[in-house]
């Protein structure tokens, strides 16, 4: 099971990296367009700033999923550094990962119906009437679901390290 999850997450990570490249590239293009239209043509675009904010949200949320896999989220290591025990560090990491998993489950559980409700209410973007805001809100539960997949892999690796008495 772990090997299949790892293979799936490898493909998912590659796809997310390309998605983040797309979002960052889009952000750069839209911000440059906004600067050009505003300061050179003196006729600012109404939608480019808003769309670049949505792309930034995508980079942030999907980047967070990749960071779960790489175990690079900010954390407090004061207690683990004090005891200098690999076993205790793994136990604390395991507890932290379980708390993160529970938080992500709550975000998915409550975020998905909320985003669907916003889609059903036909709430539209202020400057882009073709964009339903519910799709933007759906980024959060979608990225949380992907984060769960990454975090489960890290959780299993941490449990294996605890079982073997080493670090992962």
> What are the contacts of 42-50 at 24+ separation with CB within 8 A?
46/127, 47/125, 47/127, 47/128, 50/125, 50/126, 50/127, 50/128
Q: How far apart are CA 96 and CA 79, in angstroms?
A: 12
Q: Mark the ranges of the chain whose per-residue pLDDT is less than 50.
A: none
pLDDT of residue 60: 96
3-state secondary structure of 167: coil
Q: How far apart are CA 55 and CA 139, in angstroms?
A: 10
pLDDT of residue 75: 74
Q: What is the pTM of this model?
A: 0.88
pLDDT of residue 92: 87
Write down the domain spans for the chain. 2-164
* Tens digits of residue pLDDT in 31-71: 999 999 999 999 999 899 999 999 999 999 999 999 999 88
pLDDT of residue 58: 96
Mean pLDDT of the chain: 92
Least Cα distance to 140 among 118, 117, 100, 108 occurs for: 108
User: Are the beta carbons of 161 and 167 closer than 8 angstroms?
Assistant: yes
């Amino acid at each position: 099971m772990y090997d299949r999850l790892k293979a799936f997450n490898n493909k998912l990570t590659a796809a997310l990296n390309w998605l983040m490249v797309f979002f960052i590239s889009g952000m750069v293009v839209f911000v440059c367009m906004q600067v050009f239209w505003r300061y050179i043509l003196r006729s600012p675009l109404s939608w480019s700033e808003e769309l670049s904010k949505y792309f930034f949200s995508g980079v942030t949320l999907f980047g967070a999923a990749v960071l779960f896999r790489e175990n690079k989220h900010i954390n407090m290591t004061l207690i683990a550094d004090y005891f200098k025990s690999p076993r205790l560090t793994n136990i604390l990491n395991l507890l932290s990962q379980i708390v993160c998993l529970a938080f992500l489950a709550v975000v998915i559980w409550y975020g998905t119906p909320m985003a669907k409700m916003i889609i059903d209410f036909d709430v539209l973007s202020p400057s882009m009437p073709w964009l339903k805001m519910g799709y933007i809100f759906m980024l959060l539960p979608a990225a949380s679901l992907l984060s769960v997949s990454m975090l489960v892999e890290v959780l299993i690796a941490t449990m294996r390290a605890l079982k073997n008495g080493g670090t992962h």
